[in-house]
Amino acid sequence: MLIASRNRLARLQYGPNGFRVLAPGDHVLCAVTGAPIGLDELRYWSVARQEAYATAALSVQAALDAARGA
């Protein structure tokens, strides 16, 4: 029996070349905006902070904020 993972938050481990699904789901949340990101649309994340981002601009913003200690 397959467990439906539709409309469920996934838990991922982010690596330099991809991510590994630790808990099944169909989306993650953007670390900056909190907006849902479908796993098929996920392109930006931080390996060091283990966070996902909806856009490249949000990824850069998060990196700059982390560098400033914000």
Query: Whole-angstrom Cα distance, residue 16 to residue 18?
Result: 6
Q: Which pairing describes strands 19-23 and 27-29: parallel, antiparallel, or unpaired?
A: unpaired
Query: pTM to 2 decimals?
Result: 0.87
Tell whether the model's pLDDT for residue 2 goes beyond 80.
no
Structure token pair of residue 50: 């283990």
SS (H, E, C) the chain: CCCCCCCCECEEEECCCCEEEEECCCEEEECCCCCEEECCCCCEEECCCCEEECCHHHHHHHHHHHHHCC
pLDDT, residue 6, reads: 80
pLDDT in tens, 43-69: 999 999 999 999 999 999 999 999 998
